[in-house]
Amino acid sequence: MKTTLLPAGSFSQHHWKARDILPWLLAAAVFYFFDGYLALGTVIIIMIIACMSLNLVLGYAGVETLGHAAFFGIGAYTAGLYAIHVSTEPVSGLLAAAIVAGVFGTVSGYFLLRMRSLTLLMLTLAVGMAVYEFANKWSSVTGGDDGLSGISPGPLFGVFDFGLDGRTGYLYALGVLALVFLLVRTIVDSPFGLSLRGIRENISRMKLVGAPVTSRLVVVYSLSGAIAGMAGALYAQTIQVVGLESLSFDLSGNLLIMVVLGGLGRLYGPFIGAIIFLLVQDRAAAFSPQHWMFAIGLILILSVRFSDNAFVAGVAARLRRAAKW
Amino acid sequence: MDVKLFQTIFALLFNGVAYGMILFIMSAGLSVTMGTMRVVNLAHCGFAMVGGYIAYALMTDGSVPFWLAVLLSFALTTMLGALLEFLLYRSIYRQSELKQVILTLGLALVMIASVNLVFGASVHNLDIPDVLKGNVKVLGVGLSIYRFFLIGASMIVGALIWYFIECTGVGKKLKAAVDNPGMAKCVGINVDVYFAGTFAAGCGLAALGGALGAELMPLQPFYALRYLVIVVIVVSIGGLGSIKGTLAAALGLGIIDTFGTYFFDDIGAFLVYFIMIAVLFIKPQGLFGRA
């Protein structure tokens, strides 16, 4: 295991540069020029949010989890049920989903985050599957296998209707993404974020310097859960159907793949990973889903198998230096 | 006691033991690889699936008899395991868990896609030989002959594993290699070969479980991920690396799951998750695991 030394300027890792505007320009370009892709664009934005949440715990705090879909699904079901039974107002539904998923993160994190490595992986997998089974069995409320339908959110801020063209949904998701991005950026650049990176690099040393490791992890796990819950809520409100797949292991695995693809512990990693993964998946799935799955599996295997290969590492280092996100 | 209730309990116990024994065969290999080599192998159930499909292909396309097909699927999957150990797993023994997760998840996806391309997405069952079809009446309860066979076969396999590890020279060297690889190397044990052999045998056992248990867990492409969770639960409750613990956990879970789904339909399905979370919270290393 390599320990990377933190440079003196660790505190303000990210400075605003001209290229920080690129993703938002791209989003605007999709909105104005490629409105046939608005539905896909909305899904990509939602997944970027979910990936940022996973990147926060996995990439920055080093918490390995196989059950991140639980937060996404809990948020999606909360927002769906809120829209059906309480109020169709979307923003309060979003907040409700964030609170419920965040509380779930606090409670489960309190128990889970004392464990490390293998035990933690298996427990997060089991908790994720337990939530899935719960939603599956409690079909009187969640709709079980059929999913939860009949979600029709009211106009955003009481003004903008979620019409059939998906414009409101797209801008709504984009707005949430911008807020989440600012939040995550602030967190990872704060002293709290630095201590998370410390825990990732060397947990024993962090304990020795007196950092409250478990409570820091519980805090970041809850925050991450709330963010993933918001992503789920956006999904429920824009797609207007919530199915069991929003809680499935497949989703946890896909989120993991996207985060790793974009680069762990990098602020713009989720943007790159989710955009590439979902665009290729969209094209490939129309063509042949089997081949797509084969290809993504092969990419994962090769990426790990040759990650310590000198040639590949050299190319990657050069790319990283060129991009430096 | 009411005769009817007694018969129900007896039948449930029988089915629970049959299910538990299959779980044991499928999980034993994972327990050893996770416990001793510290590899998170998310593709373990993929090997069980591949074994089941090999047996299916041999029986339908090659008209090989059931017994031979099961043995061949064991042998072929063991070879596949040895090959993949050499090509892939060997490089991740000392890597971070995340890399292991990603590589083995990728392998599981490749297995699912390959099976899907070759055999299609439909569910397949193995044709069991006529001798094993039908029921016998024991204490007034009709019990499936095939499940009797399952219990018997799994017990024989379990006994063989025990005999191999505890009573042979190879088994003793294996234990040494696992306990202290550095020291074992110093006394001239080829640790790499022992690890590779153990890994391959674990894959073969999973294949055996997949082929024999196809009656309980039907073959389909998403088998590799669907049954992974229950196998992981068995291994972590039993304690990583402990064959005895895996057996106890598999039998216990098999019986509890069977009773749970019969008596309380809704809660039964996630009884096993509660048990796992409770056990690991009290004893993070599992019931029989070493701290």
Q: Quick check: A94 and A176 in contact, CB under 8 A?
A: yes
Give pLDDT, residue A9: 52
Give pLDDT, residue A231: 93
* Nearest-neighbour CA in chain A from B287: distance (Å): 13
CA dist B282 and B291 (Å) reads 12
Q: Output b/e per residue, B78-96; b: 16+ Cβ within 10 A.
A: bebbbebbeebbbbbbebe
Least confident interval from A16-30, A84-98, A120-134, A199-213: A16-30
Structural domains present in chain B? 3-282 (1.10.3470)
* Nearest-neighbour CA in chain A from B32: distance (Å): 14
* Tens-place pLDDT, residues B121-158: 788 877 777 777 777 777 777 778 888 888 898 899 88
Q: Please state the pTM of the whole predicted model.
A: 0.84
Residue B288 token pair:
């029989």
Q: Quick check: A128 and A252 in contact, CB under 8 A?
A: yes
CA dist B168 and B91 (Å) reads 29
Mean pLDDT for the stretch of residues A49-73: 90
List chain B residues with CB under 8 Å of A119. Answer: 236, 280, 284-285
Give pLDDT, residue A71: 93
List chain B residues with CB under 8 Å of A122. Answer: 232-233, 235-236, 280
Higher pLDDT, B103 or A314: B103
Q: What is the residue whose two structure tokens read 């379990």?
A: B158
Q: Quick check: B232 and B30 in contact, CB under 8 A?
A: yes
B137: left (phi over 0), alpha (psi -120 to 50) or beta: beta
Higher pLDDT, A218 or B145: A218
Q: Do A126 and B273 touch (CB under 8 A)?
A: yes
Range among A277-286, A316-325, B101-110 with highest mean pLDDT value = B101-110
- Nearest residue of A to residue B90, measured between CA atoms: A305
Question: Mutation test of the interface with chain B: which of A4, A122, A250, A259, choosing the one with the most B Cβ atoms within 10 A?
Answer: A122
Give pLDDT, residue B75: 92
List chain B residues with CB under 8 Å of A260. Answer: 98, 102
* Nearest-neighbour CA in chain B from A294: distance (Å): 5
Question: What values do phi and psi take at B151, rounded to 5?
Answer: -60, -45
Among B95, B107, B273, whose Cβ lies nearest the Cβ of A297?
Answer: B107
Q: Do A125 and B232 touch (CB under 8 A)?
A: yes
List chain A residues with CB under 8 Å of B269. Answer: 133, 136-137
Q: Do B97 and A117 touch (CB under 8 A)?
A: yes
- Nearest residue of A to residue B221, measured between CA atoms: A290
List chain B residues with CB under 8 Å of A123. Answer: 236, 276-277, 280
CA dist A66 and B18 (Å) reads 30
Higher pLDDT, A242 or A228: A228
Question: Mutation test of the interface with chain A: which of B102, B220, B265, choosing the one with the most A Cβ atoms within 10 A?
Answer: B102
Least confident interval from A16-20, A75-79, B160-164: A16-20
Give pLDDT, residue A221: 93
Helix (H) or strand (E) holding B204: helix B191-212
> What's chain A's average pLDDT?
82
Higher pLDDT, A171 or A309: A171
* Nearest-neighbour CA in chain A from B122: distance (Å): 14
Q: Quick check: A100 and A77 in contact, CB under 8 A?
A: no
- Nearest residue of B to residue A127, measured between CA atoms: B273
Give pLDDT, residue A5: 56
- Nearest residue of A to residue B115, measured between CA atoms: A290
List chain B residues with CB under 8 Å of A253. Answer: 105
Give pLDDT, residue A232: 93
Q: Do B280 and A129 touch (CB under 8 A)?
A: no
Confidence grade of residue A225 (pLDDT, cut at 50, 70, 90): very high
What percentage of chain A exceeds 90 in pLDDT?
20
Question: What values do phi and psi take at B122, rounded to 5?
Answer: -75, 165
* Nearest-neighbour CA in chain A from B237: distance (Å): 10
Please tell me if residue A110 touches chain B, with a CB cutoff of 8 Å.
Answer: no
Give pLDDT, residue A97: 92
Q: Quick check: A69 and A252 in contact, CB under 8 A?
A: yes
* Tens-place pLDDT, residues A237-273: 888 888 888 888 888 888 988 888 887 878 888 888 8
Going from the C-alpha of B219 to that of each of A224, B79, B200, B209, B210, the distances in angstroms are 37, 21, 22, 12, 8
- DSSP 3-state of A296: helix
Q: Do B280 and A115 touch (CB under 8 A)?
A: yes
Write out residues in chain B with pLDDT < 70, as ranges.
1, 266, 268-269, 290-291
Residue B191 token pair:
């640790």
CA dist B260 and B258 (Å) reads 6
- ipTM score above 0.85: no
* Tens-place pLDDT, residues B186-217: 888 888 888 888 889 889 989 998 888 887 88
* Nearest-neighbour CA in chain A from B136: distance (Å): 34
Give pLDDT, residue A171: 86
Give pLDDT, residue A196: 87
Q: Do A305 and B105 touch (CB under 8 A)?
A: no
Among B97, B236, B270, whose Cβ lies nearest the Cβ of A133?
Answer: B270
Confidence grade of residue A325 (pLDDT, cut at 50, 70, 90): very low
Q: Do B102 and A256 touch (CB under 8 A)?
A: yes
Give pLDDT, residue A46: 92
Least confident interval from A18-22, A45-49, A179-183, B98-102: A18-22
Q: Do B106 and A260 touch (CB under 8 A)?
A: no
Q: Do B113 and A293 touch (CB under 8 A)?
A: yes
* Nearest-neighbour CA in chain A from B273: distance (Å): 6
Confidence grade of residue A233 (pLDDT, cut at 50, 70, 90): very high
